[in-house]
Amino acid sequence: METPQQGRTNEEPPGFIEVMAEAEAVLPAWLNIVEKFAAVIALIGAESSWASEEMAKSDARGDGFAGRMSVAEQLSGRLSEPVEQVETLGSQYWSTLSSIDPGIIGFIRHAGESDLAPEDRQAVRDFFKEIKQLAAVTKDTTSHLQGFSDSIGGAARSSSRLRPQFRTIQAAVQKVIDSQTVLDEWNRMIEETDLGDDDQP
């Protein structure tokens, strides 16, 4: 099946329809990764909370550090699959965003420099609005992820069994945090066009 890019001739530059179709096509795969990453981070957070509660119960029973070590070993087993998932998703998150970045930037430039029909201008505004909302949501998410990364860093120091897993989680989270600069740049470029303000005619 031909993509819009493959269907064009070398002689003809892309028109608005082709550029818009390519821009619409690049985001869904990345958004799917975003959702999966958020879900596995939530699972890791839930497992960490479970371990904290179990350690509190162990302390109340007077089981001492042996009891804590037992809980840490159980947590390590429970985190095995989520840690594998978060490592894979963290890499996919960054690599997919990097791969679609040129297309999004090209679309923003094309839309900002082209003389578009009124209906096309509205379509661009709608698309830009989605990107700006996405950038705002991910900015809030990265703030929470930074706090999450800091908290598991402290937990990692308490157990040599958990340390490698928590380092893997932190590395994946950092890739997501670092990727925010890409979305911030999209937002900045949109603001520099006359299509980033929904109130404009």
Q: Which pLDDT score, from 0 to 100, does residue 1 have? A: 47
pLDDT digits (tens, 9 = 90+) for 162-192: 889 988 998 999 999 898 999 999 999 999 8
Domain assignment present for 56: no
Rounded distance between C-alpha atoms, residue 184 and residue 177, angstroms: 12
CA 105 vs CA 8, 9, 11, 112, 190: distances in Å: 20, 22, 22, 11, 9
Domain-located, residue 158: yes
Rounded Cα distance, 175 and 113, in Å: 32
What is the number of domains present in the chain?
1
Name the pTM for this structure: 0.76
Q: Lowest-confidence range among 18-22, 38-42, 81-85, 88-92?
A: 18-22
Q: Could you list the residue range(s) of the whole structural domain that residue 177 is in?
A: 16-46+81-192
Q: Is 128 part of a structural domain of the chain?
A: yes
Q: Looking at the domain assignment, is residue 95 inside a domain?
A: yes
What is the share, in percent, of the chain residues with pLDDT greater than 90?
A: 24
* Residue 162 phi, psi (nearest 5): -90, -20
More confident residue, 10 or 87: 87
